[in-house]
Amino acid sequence: MLLNQLREHVGTAHVLTDEADVAPYVQDWRGRYRGEVIAVVQPATTQEVAAVVQCCAKAGVKLIPQGGHTSMVGGATPVGTQRSDGTAPVVLSLRRMNRILEVDPVGNTLIAQAGCVLQTIQEEAARHGRLYGVTLGAEGSCQIGGNISTNAGGTGVLKYGNTREQVLGLEVVLPDGRIWNGLRTLRKDNTGYNLKHLFIGGEGTLGIITAVAVRLHPQPAITSTAWLTFDSVDNALACLALLQTMAGDRIAGYELLNQLQLQAVLTHFPSVRLPTDAQAPYAVLVELSDTYAKADLQGLMEDALSQLFERGLVRDAAIATSESQRAAFWHIRHSISESNRKAGMGLSTDVAVPVKSVALFIEQASQAVQARWPQLDIVLVAHMGDGNVHFIPRFSFEEWARIPNQGEVADAVRAVVHDVAVSFGGTFSAEHGVGHVLVKELVRLRSPLELELMKRIRSTLDPHALLNPGKLL
């Protein structure tokens, strides 16, 4: 009966039930988490989303909102979501809701449906001489609604802030099927509680985002991009401090990678060539940008590097002299997720610590992990300018296959890393969210009062736990 109702609302072609058709929606992109569903439903309008929610609510069937399905923590995968009677959930995919609705280059705003791919939004902004400030390795497939639901970060946070800082307004279908229209583009609106912030980072547990209004920024007219190598993380931090003094908010990216991470990229992307010094323990990809086309960023970068060499902080450096070289530098950075997927069983962590503590965190976390699991490699990539470190202990596939209690080991490894981060006043999730993988860590590492407040909010908006059960809380 439910399937027939769903077909009436969205069309038979957009209610997928065949195993081959639903396969891409029930397993995460790394192949680690998988669940069962009654169907995958693909609405095309906000009204259709509301109708689907109402039908599922009436039938008591859970709903999994799903965007580009690029989560690192199983946040949109139907894992462990069956009812006590064995009824599987419905996946609600936003893929068909992919239109840009409005661009205002004077007000620097853009309105889009939630299923718009991030790269599409970036390209549309660029056509109007503007820039959307969130940049991710998965930007060719992740969707803006999912970005907002997880408060995505990425490589541009240092200059533009994370997703929360880009959002001006939202349209949301609530768990009872009502539509909240908060799709405003105002910078100032001090009229009571700022409700949109409930849904930013809510991981689809409080409502289904169907449309978004985001801030745009002036398109940079000039960039200077360099690849630097270092003997230590401390030296990379000293370099960041000097660049901040000299370049201020012109720093658009500052990405730290260790040697093992770069080796993984070189192994699985044979066409990649490092710009310099493949034997260095650490490398940093740094980019400066400015909206003033006559700004001498290349001279600024050269001046900064000269001072860094004089102080003995940098091993080697290469400055991109063309757009193709700049793209090649960034290709290395954006090849990391795919290379890590192929290189071994990486137990990704997504911690953030105060920037001043990044070097000590890496040192202590490495010691703590390898004291218990000496066979593990540590793969490292960090958005260093905002303290977000993807610290990835890695098993070989062969070692991982021999472990009988894989889930327990994965939880234990992550817990060791998280404990070190928390000891520095940090957090166990900076930009990936909680999903279903880190639910126990939220309970373990957040205060009882914080958990109580979160549960109250969720039970108030979704008293029957209809949306994305088993995730976040």
pLDDT tens-digit profile of 316-363? 999 999 999 999 999 999 999 889 989 999 999 999 999 999 999 999
Last residue in a domain, options 159, 193, 218: 218
Last residue in a domain, options 172, 200, 218: 218
Q: With 90 as the cut, is the pLDDT of residue 34 above it? A: no
385 shares a domain with 277:
no
Q: What is the average per-residue pLDDT within 39-68? A: 96
pLDDT at 32: 82
Q: What is the pLDDT of residues 179-205, one digit of tens each?
A: 999 999 999 999 999 999 999 999 999
138 shares a domain with 60:
no
pLDDT at 80: 67
How large a percentage of the chain has pLDDT more than 90? 87
Q: What is the average per-residue pLDDT within 409-414? A: 95
Last residue in a domain, options 93, 117, 145: 93
**Count of structural domains within the chain:** 4
The verdict on residue 332 lying in a domain is yes
392 shares a domain with 378:
yes
333 shares a domain with 280:
yes
214 shares a domain with 110:
yes
106 shares a domain with 212:
yes
* Separation in Å, CA 216 to CA 107, 109, 134, 169, 373: 8, 5, 10, 13, 46
Q: With 60 as the cut, is the pLDDT of residue 263 above it? A: yes
pLDDT at 29: 80
360 shares a domain with 322:
no
Q: With 80 as the cut, is the pLDDT of residue 169 above it? A: yes
The verdict on residue 473 lying in a domain is no
The verdict on residue 31 lying in a domain is yes
The verdict on residue 452 lying in a domain is no
The verdict on residue 300 lying in a domain is yes
Q: What is the pLDDT of residues 284-303, one digit of tens each?
A: 999 999 999 999 999 999 99
The verdict on residue 463 lying in a domain is no
Q: What is the pLDDT of residues 418-441, one digit of tens each?
A: 999 999 999 999 989 998 889 999
- Domain holding 356, by residue range, is 344-432
394 shares a domain with 376:
yes
CATH of the domain at 89: 3.30.43.10
206 shares a domain with 122:
yes
Q: What is the pLDDT of residues 440-465, one digit of tens each?
A: 999 999 999 999 999 999 999 999 99
281 shares a domain with 174:
no
Q: With 70 as the cut, is the pLDDT of residue 85 above it? A: no
HEC profile for the chain?
Answer: CHHHHHHHHHCHHHEECCHHHHHHHHECCCCCCECCCCEEECCCCHHHHHHHHHHHHHHCCCEEEECCCCCCCCCCCCCCCCCCCCCCCEEEECCCCCCEEEEECCCCEEEEECCCEHHHHHHHHHHCCEECCCCCCCCCCCEHHHHHHHCCCCCCHHHHCCHHHHEEEEEEECCCCCEEEECCCCCCCCCCCCCHHHHCCCCCCCCEEEEEEEECEECCCEEEEEEEEECCHHHHHHHHHHHHHHHHHHEEEEEEEEHHHHHHHHHHCCCCCCCCCCCCCEEEEEEEEECCCCCCHHHHHHHHHHHHHHCCCCCEEEECCCHHHHHHHHHHHHCHHHHHHHHCEECCCEEECCHHHHHHHHHHHHHHHHHHCCCCEEEEEEEHHHCEEEEEEEECHHHHHCCCCHHHHHHHHHHHHHHHHHHCCCECECCCCCCCCCHHHHHHHCCHHHHHHHHHHHHHHCCCCCECCCCCC
The verdict on residue 117 lying in a domain is yes
pLDDT at 92: 97
Confidence of residue 81 (pLDDT cuts 50, 70, 90): low
Confidence of residue 83 (pLDDT cuts 50, 70, 90): low
pLDDT at 84: 52
204 shares a domain with 117:
yes
pTM of the model: 0.91
The verdict on residue 318 lying in a domain is yes
160 shares a domain with 79:
no
